[in-house]
């Protein structure tokens, strides 16, 4: 089932991304199940609580960096284009998108009659304001961390009130899928202009079905129904995301009803929860790889043999089978098979003897000591995985000291310039949420993306840069695929990461919760949900 779903995602992306403005109409709302008649609900029992493992680091498009930020923000702030659960690009605030004949610009027709939560009209000026801010047009020092998503955009032009033209420096093959990225959401220009210098968005003012209510740091974010929503007004009165790093605590909240849904069910609890009549365990595919990145500025990791040795020292199958009860796959590339541009190059074979041999050849016959930083509560069983890796590395003579951080602190600790880095190796995950290899490779391996962006290993390879640059501006799909194949093979051999596994996704919800979307992009979306 997992492999077939991945194939479907690839096929859907092949159709949707290159159909440009011809995206299919959205499916009927999932709560219109009785011959088109809305479901009868108790209006006093529509306050949904979802428990997740990590708190968003930020809710400003300039600073957002994680799936927790995306899954919360998308309820309040909408995109121009929406990537649905089947991998199809759907109209959102843009009703259509189409390239010019020469491919050097795109025309977006916007949805009319939409207002931001503060009453500001949504129009072409608002789109230009948001995209210019994201790219850092007026303030290059404050461009978004993910500004590479629009890296080939030269300027954004207002054609008329509801028409935007995006002009390009070069043909930019993945632009439609990039515009679906959760971080390129539309905020009220008035709310952004009201920010003081150096201040970033904490209370988003978007066009979405829910409006920001409160943020209790370290505890929860609450949002309330937008009664003036341009689409179907939600049946939920409110949605609360609670931040609960400890997986066992999330499970207890689900069982007691304190939470209606939770993310990342521990594998040891799956069968037990599945047997409970009032709980549903939701299995969904994921587009995320989990890895441990090497600090390539450290002398010990400047020899590829050392990096390859660590890859051979870790038994990925054992991690998956013992910690995740078989949910997941050993990584065979820096991106998962569902992504356009994927080429299988691995996995690295588990071979401790080869690891010791490579270490000896590199001048470390007795191993070495290092600092391994990791988060807790962000990824399923992240701390447990790190401890298991520590033990496997010890077996080949590598003494890894573990340093643990909560998610909010963690990003600020590891995504730093090389002269500020205190770690030798770090744990992170990456979901290629556009389903295009550009997003999975350019952000993490291009030399222009060193922190404050996402190439946290400080990897630099001129040949990889050239391949990724060419793939961005090549319209021919087959040529792009071959360019990514070449880049992936080089990256795999260079081994800037300790490649671990392609993540599985297992969530839980109370059986009286209906219409909740568990997305392959690891978003839990509640805009069409209700409580029976």
51 belongs to a structural domain: yes
Band of the pLDDT at 98, cuts 50, 70, 90? very high
Residues in the chain, overall count: 532
Domain count for the chain: 2
Give me the CATH number covering residue 21. 3.90.76.10
303 belongs to a structural domain: yes
Residues 111 and 196 in one domain: yes
Query: What integer pLDDT is reported at residue 451 of this predicted model?
Result: 97
Task: Give me the chain's average pLDDT, please.
Answer: 93
Cα–chain center distance at 451: 18
Query: What integer pLDDT is reported at residue 39 of this predicted model?
Result: 76
Give the model confidence (pLDDT) of 418-430 as tens digits. Answer: 999 999 999 999 9
Band of the pLDDT at 37, cuts 50, 70, 90? low
Tell me what the mean pLDDT of segment 307-335 comes to. 97
* Residue position matching structure tokens 């920001």: 212
Q: Taken in order 125, 126, 128, 129, is the CA torsion positive or negative?
A: positive
Residues 494 and 512 in one domain: no
Band of the pLDDT at 22, cuts 50, 70, 90? very low
Report H helices in 42-171: 67-73, 124-135
Residues 311 and 175 in one domain: no
Query: What integer pLDDT is reported at residue 31 of this predicted model?
Result: 38
Flag the least confident range among 7-16, 164-173, 193-202, 409-418.
7-16
Residues 514 and 473 in one domain: no
Residue numbers of the domain that contains 449:
288-502
pLDDT > 90? residue 468: yes
Q: Cα–Cα distances in Å, from 310 out to 42, 291, 321, 347, 456?
A: 56, 12, 20, 13, 18
Q: Nearest Cα to 347, choosing from 397, 312, 371, 392? A: 312
Task: Please answer whether residues 147 and 135 qualify as being in contact, where contact means their C-beta atoms are separated by less than 8 angstroms.
Answer: yes
Q: Which residues pair with residue 530 across a beta bridge?
A: 514
214 belongs to a structural domain: no
Give the model confidence (pLDDT) of 252-295 as tens digits. Answer: 999 999 999 999 999 999 999 999 999 999 999 999 999 999 99
Query: What integer pLDDT is reported at residue 28 of this predicted model?
Result: 37
Tell me what the mean pLDDT of segment 486-506 comes to. 97
Give the model confidence (pLDDT) of 169-198 as tens digits. Answer: 999 999 999 999 999 999 999 999 999 988
Residues 489 and 510 in one domain: no
Residues 442 and 304 in one domain: yes
Residues 8 and 110 in one domain: yes
pLDDT > 50? residue 9: no
Residues 475 and 515 in one domain: no
pLDDT > 50? residue 80: yes
Query: What integer pLDDT is reported at residue 38 of this predicted model?
Result: 63
Rounded Cα gap, residues 415 and 411, in angstroms: 6
């Amino acid at each position: 089932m997992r492999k077939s779903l991945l194939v479907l995602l690839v096929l859907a992306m092949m159709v949707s991304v290159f159909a440009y403005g011809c995206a299919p109409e959205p499916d009927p709302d999932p709560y219109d199940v009785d011959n088109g008649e809305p479901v009868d609900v108790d209006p006093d029992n529509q306050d949904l609580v979802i428990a997740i493992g990590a708190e968003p680091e930020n809710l400003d498009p300039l600073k957002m960096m994680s799936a927790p930020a995306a899954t919360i923000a998308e309820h309040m702030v909408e995109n121009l284009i929406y990537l649905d659960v089947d991998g199809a690009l759907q109209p959102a605030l843009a009703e259509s998108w189409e390239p010019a004949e020469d491919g050097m610009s795109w025309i977006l027709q916007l949805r009319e009659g939409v207002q931001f939560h503060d009453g500001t009209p949504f129009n072409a000026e608002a789109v230009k304001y948001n995209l210019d801010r994201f790219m850092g047009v007026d303030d290059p020092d404050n461009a978004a961390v993910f500004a590479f998503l629009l890296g080939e955009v030269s300027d954004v032009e207002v054609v008329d009130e509801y028409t935007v033209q995006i002009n390009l420096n070069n043909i930019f093959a993945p632009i439609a899928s990039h515009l679906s990225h959760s971080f390129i959401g539309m905020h009220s220009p008035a709310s952004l202009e009201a920010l003081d210098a150096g201040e970033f968005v904490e209370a988003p003012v978007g066009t979405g079905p829910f409006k920001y209510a409160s943020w209790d740091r370290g505890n929860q974010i609450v949002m309330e129904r937008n009664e003036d929503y341009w689409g179907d007004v939600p049946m939920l009165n409110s949605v609360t995301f609670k931040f609960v790093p400890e997986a066992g605590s999330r499970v207890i909240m689900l069982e007691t009803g304190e939470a209606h849904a939770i993310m990342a069910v521990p594998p040891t609890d799956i069968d037990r929860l599945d047997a409970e009549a009032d709980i549903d365990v939701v299995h969904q595919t994921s587009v995320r790889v989990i890895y441990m990145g090497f600090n390539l500025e450290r002398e010990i990791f400047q020899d590829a043999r050392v990096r390859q040795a660590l890859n051979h020292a870790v038994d990925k199958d054992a991690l998956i089978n013992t910690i995740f009860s078989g949910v997941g796959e050993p990584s065979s590339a820096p991106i998962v098979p569902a992504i356009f541009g994927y080429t299988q190059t691995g996995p690295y074979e588990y071979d401790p003897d080869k690891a010791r041999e490579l270490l000896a050849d590199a001048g470390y016959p007795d191993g070495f000591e290092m600092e391994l930083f990791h988060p807790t509560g962000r990824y399923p069983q992240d701390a447990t995985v790190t401890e298991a890796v520590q033990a496997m590395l010890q077996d080949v003579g590598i003494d890894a000291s573990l340093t643990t951080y909560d998610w909010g602190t963690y990003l600020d600790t590891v995504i730093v310039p090389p002269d500020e880095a205190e770690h030798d190796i770090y744990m992170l995950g990456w979901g290629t949420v556009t389903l295009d290899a550009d997003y999975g490779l350019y952000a993490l391996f291009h030399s222009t993306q060193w922190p404050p962006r996402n190439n946290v290993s400080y990897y630099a390879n001129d040949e990889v840069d050239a391949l990724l640059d060419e793939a961005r501006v090549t319209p021919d799909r087959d040529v792009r695929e071959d360019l990514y194949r070449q880049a992936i093979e080089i990256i795999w051999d260079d081994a800037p990461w300790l490649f671990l596994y392609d993540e599985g996704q297992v969530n839980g919800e109370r059986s009286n919760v209906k219409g909740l979307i568990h997305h392959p992009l690891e978003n839990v979306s509640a805009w069409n949900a209700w409580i029976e």
